[in-house]
Amino acid sequence: MSKYVIAHELGHAICAEVQDAIWYPTGLSFESEDGILAACLCDKRKTKKDIIGPFSKTSAMVNLGGIFGELLWNGKWAPWSARADVDEFITLNTKKSPIQTEMDNWFWVDDDELSFRSCSKMFYVEERRKFRMDCHDTARRLPNLWSAYLDFCDRIDKHAFIDSVNEISSNGKVELSTKDLREIIKEVVLK
């Protein structure tokens, strides 16, 4: 399994833990199924988790965690790979917020060279898959997403995150149970 994919899915899990008041991670699957390379499994909390931060009232932050994992692992992220996550984030945020508006415009409306529409207009799927936004592109083009990424990084041990990606890659497991994931979260999330 690609470390890039592992970082994406682990990013979802860690984001659910540190930025999302509704969802909590229950496992990771790296078994390709129905066109999906991997998945972060989450369940809904019975009561909201008490998270204090600039994005604590934003719904479905867990969906952006994959982008954060990719940025942390590789310094860039693939909009084509994150399209379902971004669409779900936009859809689940019924109350307008700066990050929701920014992502909605970037995904559906804007047509500049760093917009999702620019990526989706590429003729070949391979070109779309290779389209990347690095840290500079993200900070300039999507400042609210960048702020959310910085908040994500402020709440974790970045080195432990990278070590966890390497460990998951080397152990060859195609599934991580809730117990396995809890151990990783203990190492990565700052107290």
Provide the pLDDT for residue 148. 98
- Do 69 and 32 meet the contact criterion of CB atoms below 8 Å apart? no
Tokens for 87, please give them.
């669409």
pLDDT at position 56: 87
pLDDT value of residue 1: 76
14/157 Cα distance (integer angstroms) = 11
List, in order of start, the domains of the chain with CATH numbers. Answer: 3-188 (1.20.58)
Mean pLDDT by 10 residues, the chain (191 residues): 94 97 95 82 94 92 98 97 97 92 98 96 96 98 98 98 97 93 97 84
How much is the pLDDT for 110? 97
Please compute Rg for the chain using Cα positions: 16
Q: Are 128 and 80 in contact (CB under 8 A)?
A: yes
